[in-house]
Amino acid sequence: MSNITIRLPSTRRTQNQYETGTSYLVTPGDVITEDTDYMRGHGTYCTGDADDKLYSSVAGVVERINKLICVRALKSRYTGEVGDIVVGRVKEVQQKRWKIETNSRLDSILQLSSVNLPGGELRRRSATDELNMRSYLNEGDLISAEVPQVNVDGILSLHTRSLRYGKLSQGCLVIVSPSLIKRRKNHIHNLSCGASIILANNGYIWIYTTQHSSQTEEGDGGFIISNESIPIEDREIICRLRNCIKCLAKRSVVLYDTSILYAYEASMSYKVKQLLDDEVCDEIVNKTIYLLQQANVGNSEY
């Protein structure tokens, strides 16, 4: 029998220190403004009656950009935007296209024409390629891709026509709420701790070992999975990162390379499995927030 740890009840952590006097928080049905000048964005609606009030339709934070008012839900499905990087899982192989599950409202589409096939970028797609689609990407495979286009009904088109994207082989997938991923120029990082990470905009985070050898894989189009065994140290790093991300996500800390690295550093005094404890998690998150604030202060001094 394994040991079971039972934690004693502790008082719930209240975060009075963060309470903001000006609450931008709304819940469905709240009136955001009665002013008719504003434009209504996501998460808001008008009744269409004479009163012209603007109501919130989700629970979340009000964001105001000039005349546009949006309510960003604290948690929701991913709504794609052009240029986003996503990680997704192949759900279905269809004629000339794959259906990819990307945590968005409707499944995304990866056209056969939007992938790099073995044999170079400029290769013509033939009928045999259509028949061989399964051998490139099969149901259940994970891929990373970019969003070049959002269709009218909200379906995302994807493409992997870059070496940065394509099938993912060995690594670890962490799913968090899409709203926790910070929008940055670059979403793929080789972290200094020795692993790489794809912080996809749809909340799927892929952690994998950094490929040191920059071997050209143009020949196979990135569809070959290497089954080389990964050394235990690297695996430990991946696990530690994964747990750190989980901790941050649990406390709703925005995820980007710096925050993850700070958390990783803060976690070094613990064993990987200890990170799953709530107390340790709290401590790491607090430390991370402190470090981030320090960094911010530092930045603003310049």
Between 161 and 287, whose beta carbon lies closer to other proteins?
A: 287
Nearest approach in angstroms of CB 203 to other proteins is 11
Nearest approach in angstroms of CB 254 to other proteins is 4
Nearest approach in angstroms of CB 251 to other proteins is 7
Nearest approach in angstroms of CB 53 to other proteins is 10
Between 99 and 167, whose beta carbon lies closer to other proteins?
A: 99
Between 226 and 296, whose beta carbon lies closer to other proteins?
A: 296
Nearest approach in angstroms of CB 149 to other proteins is 18
Between 100 and 237, whose beta carbon lies closer to other proteins?
A: 100
DSSP per-residue codes, 17-84: GG--SS--EE-TT-EEE--TTSEE-TTEE--SSTT--EEE-SSEEEEEETTEEEEEESS--B---TT-
**How buried is 297 (Cβ within 10 angstroms: 0-12 exposed, 13-18 middle, 19+ buried)?**
exposed
Binding residues for other proteins, rule: CB under 8 A, are 13-15, 18-20, 23-25, 27-30, 43, 45, 47, 55, 57-61, 63, 73-77, 99, 105-107, 153-154, 182, 251-254, 289, 292, 296
- 96: CB partners within 8 A, 6+ apart: 111, 112, 113, 130, 133
Between 6 and 65, whose beta carbon lies closer to other proteins?
A: 65
Between 61 and 150, whose beta carbon lies closer to other proteins?
A: 61
Nearest approach in angstroms of CB 97 to other proteins is 14
**Residue 254, both tokens:** 């925005």
Distance CA 85, CA 246 (A): 20
Three-state secondary structure of 237-252:
HHHHHHHHHHHHHHCC
- 123: CB partners within 8 A, 6+ apart: 117
User: Do residues 90 and 136 touch, judged by C-beta distance below 8 A?
Assistant: no
